[in-house]
Amino acid sequence: MHTTRSGRESSRMAAKMNLKEFNLIVAGVGGQGSVLASHIVAEAAVKKGFRVRVGETFGAAQRGGKVHSHVRIGDDIHGPLCPSRSLDVLLGLEPNETLRLALKYANEETLIITNTRPVPSMDANIGADTYPDVSQLIEALKRLTGNVVPFDATELAVEAGNERTMNVVLLGALAASGRLPLGAEFLREAVLSSVPPRTVQVNEAAFNLGHDQL
Amino acid sequence: MSVYEDEPGKRVLMLGNEAIARGAVEAGIQLGAAYPGTPSSEIMPFIAEAAKELGFHAEWSTNEVVAFEVAAGAAVVGGRALFACKGAGLNVVMDMLMTLPYTGVRGGFVIVVADDPGAWYSSNEQDSRFAGLWAELPVLEPWDQQSAKDMTRDAFALSEMLELPVMVRSCTRLSHASGDVTLGEIRRKRNEIVFDKHWKIPYRWNVYGPPGPIEKHRWQKEQMKKARDYVEGTSFNMYHEAEKGSRLGVATSGMASNYVQEALNRLGKRDGVHLLILGVPYPLPEKMVQSYLDKVDTVLCVEEGEALIERQLHQHVNRLGKTVKVLGRLSDGVMPVVDELDPDKVASVLARFLDIEPPPSGEDSVREELSEMVCARSSSWCAGCPHIGSFWALKRALPADKVNIINTGIGCYEMSGYGIAAAPIDAKDTDESKRWRAVTPYEMTDTLYVMGSETGLSQGQYHVGYRDGEIVSILGDSSFFHTNLAPITNAVYNKAEQLILVLDNLWTCMTGHQPNPSTGMNIQGEDTYVPSIEGICRALGVQYVETVDPYNLKETIDAIKVALGHEGGPSVVVSRRVCALQRSRELHSQRAKAPLYVVNENCTGCRMCLWLGCPAIGFDESRNNAAGGKGAAFIDPLLCVGCGLCAQEEVCRFHAHDKVGEGEF
């Protein structure tokens, strides 16, 4: 009978850093880059020697469906899914999706960093449901936790030079929050090394604009 | 990082499916074959990447049984082969799966099946481990990316030791999750490719060859006995002893074992139970199980899927004459009986089992109140999807006063049955009013089961005498080659009147844009011959075959109407237009710009274009409209691809959509 598990080596290294469990969810809509954002964080954490799991949940739609990606780092984690109310950070790329995930996974201590720019759903478009007022969404988030950082990340991405860098704007804010078990500079390097070479400049600008929000 | 990177000891982040592919590469795989099926779809592209570099064959086959047989053929002549599919895909393979083990294999043959508990991407939640039990083959069940890689690698050697295929069972939460993996060495040695007609047994590769199927079945059972030693010794089966005094046990495997270990931690009961983690859930290690059963009075089985370990434990308890109580999915009220497991569900099951307070759940009154606010976000087709045009045309072409039956298969077009804004059906509704409740293209499909079922269902409906409306079968290009040739031949042979609508978008899209015969490209990106769907249908004897462009609504409506009038057998309409996402990528790579559409001042606010179900079209309640009221449609310029469907007369008779920019999408 054996008790050894694979991945021991990484566990030991993580234990040295005294990290038991860090839970992050990146929530958004298909096509916004939430999976990429979560993988950048996860890859960086592997480089630091941590034990890492990433779980992705998305519907059948290729585009426009709800997507959330769980990133878990630390010695005590096994599976790819965060338990409810266990989040250290919720990174929201779309405010309605931020609230959807916050309801299940946030607790009073959770830091919620969210884009305030809505992406209407098909259900809202055809009048089957109503898209909530953004200010009400933010108020709802504030009833769940005292740590809510809302801003228009899409606007900042446009300012940086490309609307599609919105996910990187939010990663900049995440780095500045100090909650991640990785240094801000380490995450910046991870972002810049994983984007196409010709977009490094615009992504760096996006990262910095996000970083300045906290 | 590439899947064939030769750096043993390096730690990398890997998708579960990538780890499975890596395991095969480390084992020196010589052939890989699969048909795409989520959550297994990424396995073969990763293997194909290595195939190109290391020089072996990998392919997308036209369906699962073909893929299985291609891989089996390689293993019969001594090569190491891997076949991968989703749970539902294994059902297509059953004939060969049940028979191949009678002859066994010479080269290692690994069957990877990725189940989908929770039915995220599937029409069922089947536990395919039972196919291993049924076919009498060992089943390995990894719990993370590292074990997925290691088990897939070791499965080849196990298969060669037993001379039998070996099954590796993944599931959505493993295949579509990532984790840190330490790379191992890549085996450079390749098995010799050799054919020996009487290898160890007379007429080895012919189940009927003397001494015949019964003796070959007997041989298989003897081979499975050799698996017993393996399961006693493998480090994939693990035991963690409880603190003194505890007589409680938990037996688990695969993804469920993660949830169990985390829940025990959270409940402060890390050493509270005798924990048995079975990396090989079939067959169970008898000696290990016997000494385990000596330590416990009650065992809770936590499995992702059905009660495979649980049933075997009951059997062992009986065999040993013990009084150990075995709990799990077969006991009333112990485990959830459907849906996938997750950390919360397992924590609450374990808390009940240990008779302690469960961790706080995600629900309370504030959350319940706030959840009302969240707007639904249903799955929809992509902006400009050709299916939007096909379904709009079908809806317009079908007689509105009849109860038509639309039988649909598996592909993006199945979203025509997902429902958005489906009005609840009231008991007081008449047949007439129910018919009119289908308001969007997302409520059109009437029957939906599996790939290829659509064309056969239509025939039964016709032959048994259904005449209250039209009968339609809807399938895609990949489905056409997958399992529709036999049903279409049958429709001609038995004179079944039905409209067969083939939505050919040139790719297998829903699983992530894999090429198929209609694409004219194989998994390695090489050009291939494009068979003519129309030509095949004509050769099979279909008398009416028409081709339309779903971006041309008038043409499509007219062709469907004519096809519906066809008598004496099936009619086929091929609605052909490349997938809008693939077209967008093509334009992007050419740095070409597509036009887009905007809503002009003619909009009356009638909402007709919204019923197309295109995600680029929205409605602004505050805008003035041409009818003198409030509310007008708008088009999101970031989503619009410029397909022009909304601007056609068949959608907007007020000419309220203008094209902006040059060229065609």
Contacts of B365 in chain A (CB under 8 A): none
Q: What are the chain A neighbours of B370 within 8 Å (beta carbons)? A: 99, 103, 140, 143-144
- The residue of chain A nearest to residue B340, with distances taken between CA atoms, is A81
B549 to chain A, minimum CA–CA distance in Å? 22
With CA atoms as reference, the chain A residue closest to B418 would be A60
Mutate to test the interface with A, among B380, B610, B634 (most CBs of A within 10 A): B380
The domain locations on chain B are 11-233, 237-354, 386-584, 593-660
| Nearest partner of A77 among B476, B343, B153, B314, judged by Cα | B343
In this predicted model, what pLDDT tens digit does every residue of B223-253 receive, in sequence order? 999 999 999 999 999 999 999 999 999 999 9
**pLDDT value, residue A120:** 83
A57 located within any domain: yes
Query: Inter-chain contact B617–A129, Cβ cutoff 8 Å?
Result: no
Classify residue A124: in a domain, yes or no.
Answer: yes
Which of B120, B240, B375 is the closest to A3 by Cβ?
A: B240
What sign does the dihedral B644-B645-B649-B652 (CA atoms) show?
A: negative
**Overall domain count for chain A:** 1
pLDDT number for residue A57: 75
Query: Which of the four pLDDT bands, split at 50, 70 and 90, describes residue B178?
Result: very high
pLDDT at B280 over 90: yes
Domain annotation covers residue A64: yes
A157 domain residue, yes or no: no
As a whole number, mean pLDDT of residues B120-142 equals 97
Task: List Cβ neighbours of A142 (8 Å cut-off, separation of 6 or more).
Answer: A148
Domains B11-233 and B386-584 share a fold: yes
Least CB–CB distance from B377: residue in A5, A66, A163: A66
Element (H, E) at B65: helix B64-76
State the pLDDT at residue A18.
66
pLDDT band at B9 (very low <50, low <70, confident <90, very high): very high
For residues B306, B71, B514, B115, the Cα torsion angle rounded to the nearest 10 degrees is: 10
Nearest C-alpha neighbor of A58 from the set B118, B18, B88, B617: B118
Q: What is the arithmetic mean of pLDDT over B487-498? A: 98
Which residues of chain A make contact with B373, given a CB cutoff of 8 A? Answer: 99, 132, 136-137, 140
Smallest CA-to-CA distance from A79 within B258, B309, B172 is with: B258
Query: From the list B11, B344, B421, which residue is nearest A83 (CB)?
Result: B344
Q: Do A64 and B182 touch (CB under 8 A)?
A: no
In this predicted structure, what is the pLDDT of residue A7? Answer: 39
How would residue A3 be classed by pLDDT, with cut points 50, 70 and 90? Answer: very low
Give the C-alpha separation, B419 to B438, whole Å: 9
**In angstroms, what separates the C-alpha of B481 from chain A's closest C-alpha?**
22
Residue B185's pLDDT is what? 98
Residue range(s) defining the domain that contains residue A25? 8-152
In whole angstroms, give the CA distance from residue A93 to residue A118. 9
pLDDT of residue B418: 86
Q: Token digits for B359?
A: 């961790």
Task: Tell me if A182 is assigned to some domain.
Answer: no
In sequence order, what are the residues at sequence separation of 6 or more whose Cβ sits closer than 8 angstroms to the Cβ of residue B233?
A: none
pLDDT of residue B611: 87
Would you call B177 and A125 a contact, using CB atoms and an 8 Å cutoff?
no
Whether the bond between B211 and the residue before it is cis, its omega within 30 degrees of 0, is yes
CATH topology for the B11-233 domain: Rossmann fold (3.40.50)
Chosen for mutation from B265, B293, B377, B622 (greatest number of chain A CBs closer than 10 Å) is: B377
Q: Is the peptide bond before B283 cis (omega within 30 degrees of 0)?
A: yes
Best mutation target, B270, B291, B374, to test chain A (most A CBs within 10 A): B374
pLDDT of residue B400: 87
Q: Are strands A22-29 and B11-15 parallel, antiparallel or unpaired?
A: unpaired
**Closest to B237 measured CA to CA, from B304, B300, B283, B268:** B283
B347 burial type by CB count under 10 A (0-12 exposed, 13-18 middle, 19+ buried)? buried
Residues B196-217 have a mean pLDDT of 97
Kindly indicate the confidence band of residue B50, based on its pLDDT and cuts at 50, 70 and 90.
Answer: very high
Rounded CA separation B482/B172 (Å): 23
Using alpha carbons, list the distances in angstroms from residue B528 to A89, A93, A124, B515, B516.
49, 41, 43, 10, 10
Instruction: Tell me whether residue A33 is in a domain.
Output: yes
Nearest residue on chain B to A100, alpha-carbon basis: B374
From A5, A48, A24, select the one nearest A174 (Cα to Cα).
A24
Q: Which residues of B touch A59 (CB under 8 A)?
A: 120, 379
CATH of residue A128: 3.40.920.10
Mean pLDDT of A10-14: 40
Identify the closest residue of chain B to A143 by CA–CA distance.
B366
Could B370 and A99 be called an inter-chain contact, meaning their C-beta atoms sit closer than 8 Å?
yes
Note the pTM of the prediction, 2 decimals: 0.95
Q: What is the mean pLDDT of residues B332-361?
A: 94
Question: Per DSSP, what are the bridge partners of residue B611?
Answer: none
Task: Render the burial of B386-418: b for 16+ CB within 10 Å, e for the rest.
Answer: bbbbbbbbbbbbbeeeeebbbbbbbbbbbbbbb
Residue type (1 letter), B487: P
CA dist., res. B83 & res. B71, Å (int): 6
Closest CA to B474 of B438, B513, B445: B445
A198 found inside a domain = no
Inter-chain residue contact A53 with B177, CB threshold 8 Å: yes
Of A29, A46, A123, the CB nearest to B12: A46
Residue % of chain B over a pLDDT of 70:
98
Q: What is the pLDDT of residue B363?
A: 78
pLDDT for position A56: 83
* Residue B27 to residue B35: CA distance in whole angstroms: 22
Contact between chains at B361 and A57 (C-beta distance less than 8 A): no
- pLDDT of A9 reads 40
Residues of A in contact with B121 (CB under 8 A): 60
C-alpha closest to that of A156 among A144, A173, A143, A140:
A173
Query: Position of tokens 């396995």?
Result: B43
Q: Which chain B residues contact residue A85 at CB under 8 A?
A: 360, 362
Question: A115 CA to chain B: closest CA distance, Å?
Answer: 16
Whether the CB-CB separation of B413 and B503 falls below 8 Å is answered with yes
CA B306/CA B128 separation, integer angstroms: 9
The answer to whether B262 contacts A100, with C-beta atoms less than 8 Å apart, is no
Partners of A9 on chain B (C-beta within 8 Å) are 11, 182
Nearest residue on chain A to B233, alpha-carbon basis: A1
Class level of CATH domain B386-584: alpha beta
CA B638 – CA B619 distance, rounded (Å): 15
Q: Is residue A196 part of a domain?
A: no
Averaged confidence pLDDT in chain B: 95
One CATH from 3.10.580.10, 3.40.50.920, 3.50.50.60, 2.70.70.10 for B237-354:
3.40.50.920
Exposed (0-12), middle (13-18) or buried (19+): which is B596, by Cβ within 10 Å? Answer: buried
Q: Do B238 and A131 touch (CB under 8 A)?
A: no
Minimal CA separation from B286 to chain A, in Å: 13
CA dihedral of residues B533, B539, B541, B542 (deg, nearest 10): 20
pLDDT > 90 fraction of chain B, expressed in percent and rounded:
90
Distance between CA A203 and CA B124 in Å, rounded? Answer: 42
Is residue B315 pLDDT above 50, yes or no?
Answer: yes
Tokens of B45: 């592209």
Name the burial class of residue A202, with classes exposed (0-12), middle (13-18) and buried (19+) by CB atoms within 10 angstroms of its CB. middle
Q: Could you give the C-alpha distances from A39 to A25, A52, A109, B343, B349, in angstroms and in order?
A: 11, 10, 24, 22, 32
Report which DSSP code applies to B645.
Answer: G
Closest CA to A10 of A1, A19, A2: A19
* CATH number for region B593-660: 3.30.70.20
Answer yes or no: is pLDDT of A64 > 80: no
In total, the C-beta contacts within 8 angstroms joining chain A to chain B are 204
CB-closest option in A51, A83, A129 to B180:
A51
If we measure between CA atoms, which residue out of A58, A85, A80, A84 comes closest to residue A70? Answer: A80
Q: Which residues does chain B have within 8 Å of residue A51's beta carbon, measured at their own beta carbons?
A: 180
Pick among A38, A72, A81, A158 to test the B interface (most B CBs inside 10 A): A81
DSSP string, A154-186: HHHHHHHT-GGGHHHHHHHHHHHHS-SSS-HHH
Q: Is the pLDDT of residue A16 over 60?
A: no
**Shortest Cα distance, chain B CAs vs residue A113, angstroms:** 18
Q: Which residues are within 8 A (CB) of B118 and not within 5 positions of it... i.e. 6 or more apart?
A: B125, B172, B339, B340
A46, A65, A97: residue with CB nearest B13: A46
Token digits of residue B583: 């077209």
pLDDT attached to residue A66: 87
The answer to whether ipTM exceeds 0.90 is yes
Q: Which helix (H) or strand (E) holds B258?
A: helix B254-266
Across the interface, of A53, A56, A97, the residue whose CB is closest to B179 is A53
Degrees (nearest 5) of the Cα angle A104, A106, A108?
Answer: 135
Is B379:B344 a contact under the CB 8 Å cutoff? no
Q: How confident is the model at residue B440 (pLDDT cuts 50, 70, 90)?
A: confident
Is the pLDDT confidence value at A11 over 60? Answer: no
Residue in A with minimal Cα distance to B368: A103
In this predicted structure, the answer to whether residue A63 has a pLDDT above a threshold of 70 is: no
Burial (Cβ within 10 Å: 0-12, 13-18, ≥19) of residue A22 = buried
Burial class (CB in 10 A: 0-12, 13-18, 19+), B99: middle
Q: CB count, 10 Å around CB of B499?
A: 26
- Tell me the average pLDDT across B283-298: 98
Kindly report the backbone phi and psi dihedral angles of residue B168, in degrees, each rounded to the nearest multiple of 5, phi listed first.
-115, 120
Residues B615-631 have a mean pLDDT of 92
What is the least distance, in Å, from the CA of B359 to any CA of chain A?
A: 9
Chain A residues close to B618, C-beta within 8 Å:
120, 124-125
- Dump pLDDT digits (tens) for B398-436: 998 899 999 999 999 999 988 775 566 677 777 665 554
Contacts of B371 in chain A (CB under 8 A): 103
**What confidence tens digit (pLDDT) does each residue in A110-127 have?**
999 999 999 888 888 877
- Other Cβ atoms less than 10 A from the Cβ of B185: the count is 11
- Best mutation target among B17, B145, B149, B180 (most A Cβ atoms within 10 Å) is B180
Q: Quick one: pLDDT at residue A62? A: 58
Q: Which of A9, A39, A128 is closest, CB to CB, to B420? A: A128
Query: Residues of chain A with pLDDT > 70: what percent?
Result: 88
| Alpha-carbon torsion angle B318, B320, B322, B325, nearest 10 | -50
Q: For residue B657, what are its two tokens?
A: 């959509």
Between A15 and B394, residue with greater pLDDT: B394
Confidence (pLDDT) at A5: 39
Percent over 90 (pLDDT), chain A: 78
Task: Specify the pLDDT at position A59.
Answer: 58
CA distances from B66 to B34, B62, B69, B167, B603 (A): 8, 7, 5, 18, 53
- Helix or strand or coil: residue B247? coil
Residues of B in contact with A62 (CB under 8 A): 382, 412, 509-510, 512, 581
Residue B376 has its nearest CB partner, among A46, A62, A121, at A121
Q: Are B347 and B359 in contact (CB under 8 A)?
A: yes
Closest alpha carbon within chain B to A28: B377
**Count of CB atoms within 10 A of residue B252's CB?**
26
